[in-house]
Chain A
């Protein structure tokens, strides 16, 4: 158990609405990540953070923003959700070169 929680675990929302997903860690790791998982693509990096208020884009960052105001929390925001953002979202932490993942959030945009 890597001490990572995600909320909500499931969400259904309508196209055009804003959505925020939360990742919380209990172990004070500097690096945190947001991925999305889609069939045939494995996991793809959306954004990551290397410290409080320090974030950078990943491979599939369009349409997403992030914030990290505290070490333990990393927020992913969809400013205006689209059907292409229907996916499973994972948060991860990185104590070393390996990464440990939260339980995931299934987001459906209708």
Chain B
């Protein structure tokens, strides 16, 4: 079964600085999708960014970008110019043709 590992239970960043959240996954599939979701204190799960495995170019959404290393099965999220509103739990997720699998999450704190 595919597994998703987030090795950083907690991270902190100073406002306006850059932080990178790590994610690794295990799969034997060649076609799949990777996602980062944000969960603020409101509990709502918000899709931040997605990456198709067949695309070599790293996805970018405004201040959020990913570093996708397919051979290493690594999918990290970089948040630039961190804002107080970025404070949340962040979940990495993997999906091939079946279920979506989630990591355990990283709690990000943003210090003013």
Contacts and interface: CB of A to CB of B under 8 A. Distances in A.
SS class, residues of chain B in contact with chain A: strand
Nearest to B46: A101
Contacts, number: 40
Most buried by B among A33, A97, A106: A97
SS class, residues of chain A in contact with chain B: strand
Interface string B94-110: 01000110111100000
Given A40-B104, A98-B35, A103 B99 contact: no
Interface in B1-58: 4, 33, 35, 43-45, 47, 50
Interface of B: 4, 33, 35, 43-45, 47, 50, 91, 95, 99-100, 102-105
19 contacts: A33-B100, A42-B4, A42-B91, A45-B99, A48-B99, A90-B45, A92-B45, A97-B33, A97-B95, A98-B35, A98-B47, A98-B50, A99-B95, A99-B100, A100-B47, A101-B44, A101-B45, A104-B43, A104-B44
